[in-house]
Chains A and B, each alone.
Chain A
């Protein structure tokens, strides 16, 4: 298939580099609008609509893969990501397929966010930046010097006008942009009334209909390369909203022992087969917080290529926590694909949070000082010193750094001795002999209590 790079009959022996770099296949297809080949594995990448999410996913959503979003509690932010994905499709000229059991796809498409064009978004971002600067001016001084050099999560907006766009959530997309877009919709209540019964193959009938519909569109529109007449290749972006919820006729969200726990997983398996065979990519939102049986979510995660979970702070105690005041929720990345290479593009930073800054939605690396304060690794007296305003012990000061270094050195030396020798906390007199000893085998794993005696253990 065009989307999958050619395996080639290359023989790889030591010294003979007859090795077909997959990027060769990718560059032929770069002619498709809105895509770019990945440098690592040569697959064609699409933008997810959110440049910071593209960074997290290792460049973007690869063609033929499935992106699963675990919804936050009220579905607000996951819905936003869903719309970003579709909006990106409109801006790039891709075809869309929108499936929902809740809202009519026409209404979903009417509410897509408007793209920020080159000149306007720069002003927007400048506005945001100045607002942020004035609030955080004092905060930025407190960040320890060693953290300032670490990379920021956001992609720079200046160059990526062709791949990855920024959107304004407060405005909706104008209908002119839809003129040239071909889109297909699947609204479950309509489909159930129209079509006669379909062959279900032991899958929930709503899922079966959806699969039939997707397969039909892929085949008829030639996304799977079955139509050699079609010169101009295009991408199909599929969006499925709230899969697994009760509206799809599945009871995994409403009962501990659902009738059929395999429907959703079978659906995902077959869907992935369809995606792999065609020039398409799919985003699915799943209300995972409602699924009682956690085994299902584990299987769903294993069957998807990329899984990103959103956890919003609404209603939780973190909403009023000053540590998280700049953010609206956390981002958990549960799965990243390993396409055509043994390693995956995982970024080093693990603590990600998102925020909706008036108009722009971004995913950022949470500054480490939040976590440090939560876990409180400082000794008690030092924290007191640190909290005082304008103290000489503030972060970034020389006293602070030297204290930290000596404190940590002593602490790790102590801790490593503790771990190595399984010594108890208290240092008694007779223990001193063994303190500096080599690793010994303690009988029964406990330290021998022999006060006053020097016992040489074997």
Chain B
């Protein structure tokens, strides 16, 4: 299996209004994954479809939106450009996508959602679709200003990376995100190869502060094993197979 490093940045999920911009996967799959990872301790088994109906969850499905853009009927909705229109235009800025995010995240008059969370599944796909790395970083910067600073929310971003990757644009985005994030979850396979009982390890890097102080980042390393509907984490060398 190829080694894959997925990196997300996250403060602390403060729930309620969540916006998921989901690019390559289908709706059903993502919903089921999200449902599973929220253990009953934290949530009472939240249902995402119910949340979507309440208006608590806004889900942009990249695949569907792209298909509508390319094969949709000719009638254009006035004043509503498609969030992914950068694919068909030569200008590769992600402004339309950001506008979509901003309108979804800012609470309208009657709603009282606080602390929005923006989850971006796979920023690397945006690069494959033609956005320049600078445009992607601009998009994240604008989102951070809106969501984190103005609305006191959180952003979670997923990127793919390879150790000996030749994709320089991707590495640029990943490095830049690393520098700007407060918490990095670095997931990779084991250096020694494939193992049935330990699927990989996760490194949690907590930034002490983004300013130049003498404090070191706090790094914790755990190993994990993925089961059908659950992931178990344990300290290094202490997998269930060994104990």
By a beta-carbon cutoff of 8 Å, the part of chain A in contact with chain B is 4-14, 16, 40, 64, 201-202, 211-212, 215, 262, 265-266, 269-270, 272-274, 276-277, 293-295, 298-299, 301-303, 333-336, 339-343, 346, 348, 350
B35, B69, B127, B128 interface centre (most CB from chain A within 10 Å): B128
Give B46's nearest chain A residue, CB to CB. A11
Asked if residues B166 and A266 are in contact (CB atoms below 8 Å), the reply is no
Confirm or deny: B190 has a beta carbon within 8 angstroms of a beta carbon on chain A.
no
Give A13's nearest chain B residue, CB to CB. B45
Contacts of A299 in B (CB 8 A): 124, 127-128, 167, 170
Asked if residues A302 and B40 are in contact (CB atoms below 8 Å), the reply is no
25 pairs, A vs B, C-beta closer than 8 Å: A5-B28, A11-B44, A11-B46, A12-B35, A13-B40, A14-B45, A201-B70, A262-B128, A269-B125, A273-B66, A274-B67, A277-B67, A295-B166, A295-B167, A298-B165, A298-B170, A299-B127, A302-B124, A303-B128, A336-B1, A340-B28, A340-B29, A340-B32, A341-B229, A348-B196
Of the listed stretches B82-90, B113-121, B178-186, name the one at the interface; the rest are far from the partner chain.
B82-90
Give A336's nearest chain B residue, CB to CB. B1
Asked if residues A343 and B226 are in contact (CB atoms below 8 Å), the reply is yes
User: How many Cβ-Cβ contacts under 8 Å join chain A to chain B?
Assistant: 128
Tell me whether A10 and B47 are in contact in the complex, defined as CB-CB below 8 angstroms, given that A276-B26, A303-B24 are known contacts.
yes
Contacts of B125 in A (CB 8 A): 269, 302-303
A8 to B48, CA, bound (A): 10
Q: Interface digits, B70-101 against A, CB 8 Å rule (1 contact, 0 not)?
A: 11000000000000000111100000000000
Asked if residues A295 and B88 are in contact (CB atoms below 8 Å), the reply is no
In the A-B complex, list the 3 residue pairs whose CB atoms are closest, starting with the nearest: A273-B63, A295-B167, A201-B88
Confirm or deny: B112 has a beta carbon within 8 angstroms of a beta carbon on chain A.
no
B104, chain A: closest CB distance, angstroms: 20
A49 to B67, CA, bound (A): 30
Contacts of B229 in A (CB 8 A): 341-342
Tell me whether A270 and B166 are in contact in the complex, defined as CB-CB below 8 angstroms, given that A7-B31, A265-B129, A348-B196 are known contacts.
no
Asked if residues B166 and A294 are in contact (CB atoms below 8 Å), the reply is yes
By a beta-carbon cutoff of 8 Å, the part of chain B in contact with chain A is 1-2, 24, 26-29, 31-33, 35-36, 40, 44-50, 63-64, 66-67, 69-71, 87-90, 124-125, 127-130, 160, 162, 165-170, 194, 196, 226-231
B43, chain A: closest CB distance, angstroms: 9
A349, chain B: closest CB distance, angstroms: 10
A215 to B227, CA, bound (A): 37
Contacts of B160 in A (CB 8 A): 302
Contacts of A293 in B (CB 8 A): 166
Asked if residues A11 and B45 are in contact (CB atoms below 8 Å), the reply is yes
- A9-B49, A299-B128 known; 4 new pairs, CB 8 Å cut-off, are A11-B47, A64-B26, A202-B88, A273-B63
Asked if residues B228 and A40 are in contact (CB atoms below 8 Å), the reply is yes
Give B127's nearest chain A residue, CB to CB. A299
Tell me whether A295 and B170 are in contact in the complex, defined as CB-CB below 8 angstroms, given that A269-B66, A334-B2, A340-B32 are known contacts.
yes
A270 to B69, CA, bound (A): 10
Choose one: B28, B45, B162; the contact of A12 (CB below 8 Å).
Answer: B45
A295 to B165, CA, bound (A): 7
Give B29's nearest chain A residue, CB to CB. A340
B232, chain A: closest CB distance, angstroms: 11
A264 to B166, CA, bound (A): 17
A295 to B128, CA, bound (A): 10
Contacts of B128 in A (CB 8 A): 262, 265-266, 269, 299, 302-303
Contacts of B46 in A (CB 8 A): 11
A14 to B170, CA, bound (A): 40
Give A25's nearest chain B residue, CB to CB. B28
Contacts of A273 in B (CB 8 A): 63-64, 66-67
A348 to B194, CA, bound (A): 9
A210 to B66, CA, bound (A): 16
Tell me whether A4 and B227 are in contact in the complex, defined as CB-CB below 8 angstroms, given that A266-B87, A298-B166, A303-B128 are known contacts.
no
Asked if residues B67 and A202 are in contact (CB atoms below 8 Å), the reply is no
A40, chain B: closest CB distance, angstroms: 7
Choose one: A11, A302, A342; the contact of B226 (CB below 8 Å).
Answer: A342
